[in-house]
Structure 1
Amino acid sequence: MAETSFGITGKGYVIIASDTTSARSIIKMKTDEDKIKTLSPHLLMSYSGEPGDTVQFAEYVERNIRLYQIRNLYALRPSAAASWIRRALATSLRTRKAYAVNLLVGGYDTASHDPHLYWIDYFGTMTEVPFAAHGYGAYFALSLLDRYHDPEATLEEGLATLKRCINEVAQRLVIDPGKYKVKVVDKDGIREVEV
């Protein structure tokens, strides 16, 4: 699968980008798929992997985090949400119905006023990172992110770094993922931006 997703943190924000192509083998099914779930007012999750698993797991996570918010009258902070998601993925790994899903979880902690980005793979491995990528695009983008990422970058500078990654993947990858959906989360909440 030629799925690609990126995550970048900066001064008070997290950018999550994911391609919009839904494909199976050599067949492109859709070109307008939104692979970024809004989990709470300040929390996003990008998912990639097996088509059935991704949608089912993303909806399972979305509804459980929403249920937590309804029961407790406040939303989970990004670190707690990422830990819960990692545990749910790790628990499924030990069953006959394991989810084959790779995730980027990004959020803005309204209590500490810090952005957080978590990289989670289908084995239930999780780590907090300043930038991340999943899919074939990661082979080309991680070196660019390593070179150009600045934790004090403005949103415009972060989007410029993301654009470099998208252009590099389009130029170097045999199958161009096409369009990307880009969402930003900061103190004001979640919004979609154009790149």
Structure 2
Amino acid sequence: MAEKLKGTTTVGIVCKDGVVLAADRRASLGNMVLSDNVTKVFWIDDHLALAGAGSVGDILSFVRLLRSEAKLYRARIGREMSVKALATLTSNILHGGRGYAYFAWFLIGGHDSAPRLYSIDAAGGLTEDRFTAAGSGMEFAFSILESGFKEDMPLEEGVKLALRAIGAATRRDVFTGGGVTLITITKEGHHEWSEEEIKALSE
């Protein structure tokens, strides 16, 4: 089997008024860095987003599938899929895909009646979390999240914590790097932070 593009750190945090999803931008093949400009955080619907750690091709394929399912759900039911419904669908697809395994670990965040965050491993194991991380640098990210997370923290504080967690992984994990993609999801919808906004918050 050919080696796959892989290696990353993803982070999810539930805040008082929304959810933060963040990831680095590096893609590697074995021990070689192939790109520092890969997107690993994606919107699925207005109030739903996903971060993926693992095979880049599998993540992109899965995002296309979930976007189609979300559109179909909205057309059939007349409203947006809930965060739990999207997470359950993801879990069912991964668990049922024994003929073809997706080599990825997904964090799904969103805002319906409240901000919510789920972690789904490649076998479909599903957990709801207040904060979590996945990927090759997750141990370093968790060390920051464990010490810095607070219940009902403001969204801006959660963004700063996510950036610190990705920063710690970038310094210690050779497969993590290339900058940060960061999305926040509130009841108003999702917002992808620009490099200028991230830099201003870090100053």
For 1:167 and 1:29, the matched residues in 2 are separated by: 20
Aligned residues: 190
- TM (normalized to structure 2)? 0.88
1:37 to 38, 42, 47: 42
1:50 to 48, 55, 65: 55
For 1:56 and 1:74, the matched residues in 2 are separated by: 24
For 1:168 and 1:49, the matched residues in 2 are separated by: 19
Q: What corresponds to 2:103 in structure 1? A: 100
Moved more, 114-123 or 160-169: 160-169
For 2:149 and 2:81, the matched residues in 1 are separated by: 27
Do structure 1's residue 166 and structure 2's residue 166 form an aligned pair? Answer: yes
Secondary structure of the 1:11 match is coil
For 1:175 and 1:48, the matched residues in 2 are separated by: 11
Q: 1:175 to 1:32 in 2, by over 3 A?
A: closer
For 1:36 and 1:175, the matched residues in 2 are separated by: 17
Q: What corresponds to 1:90 in structure 2? A: 95
Q: Is the 8 A contact 1:35 1:46 kept in 2?
A: yes
Secondary structure of the 2:177 match is coil
Q: Is the 8 A contact 2:36 2:179 kept in 1?
A: yes
Aligned-pair CA distance for 1:175: 4.6
Secondary structure of the 1:191 match is strand
For 2:81 and 2:176, the matched residues in 1 are separated by: 36
In the TM superposition, what are the counterparts of 1:43-192 in structure 2 within 5 Å? Answer: 43-92=48-97, 94-95=98-99, 97-109=100-112, 112=113, 114-192=114-192
For 1:156 and 1:36, the matched residues in 2 are separated by: 18
One-letter code aligned to 2:125: T
For 2:23 and 2:78, the matched residues in 1 are separated by: 31
Q: Is the 8 A contact 1:6 1:18 kept in 2?
A: yes
Aligned-pair CA distance for 1:159: 1.6
Secondary structure of the 1:123 match is coil
One-letter code aligned to 1:139: E
Which ranges in structure 2 are unaligned for 5 or more consecutive residues? 1-5, 199-203
Identity between Structure 1 and Structure 2 (%): 30
Q: What corresponds to 2:3 in structure 1? A: none
- TM (normalized to structure 1)? 0.91
Alpha carbon RMSD of aligned pairs, Å? Answer: 1.5
Which deviations, in whole Å up to 9, do the C-alpha atoms of 1:28-87 show, x marking residues without a partner? Answer: 333222112211110001112123222112211111111111222211111111111110
Aligned-pair CA distance for 1:128: 0.3
For 1:164 and 1:138, the matched residues in 2 are separated by: 13
Q: What corresponds to 1:12 in structure 2? A: 17
Secondary structure of the 2:178 match is coil
Which ranges in structure 1 are unaligned for 5 or more consecutive residues? none
Secondary structure of the 1:99 match is coil
Q: 1:132 to 1:51 in 2, by over 3 A?
A: same
For 2:146 and 2:90, the matched residues in 1 are separated by: 26
Aligned-pair CA distance for 1:14: 0.3
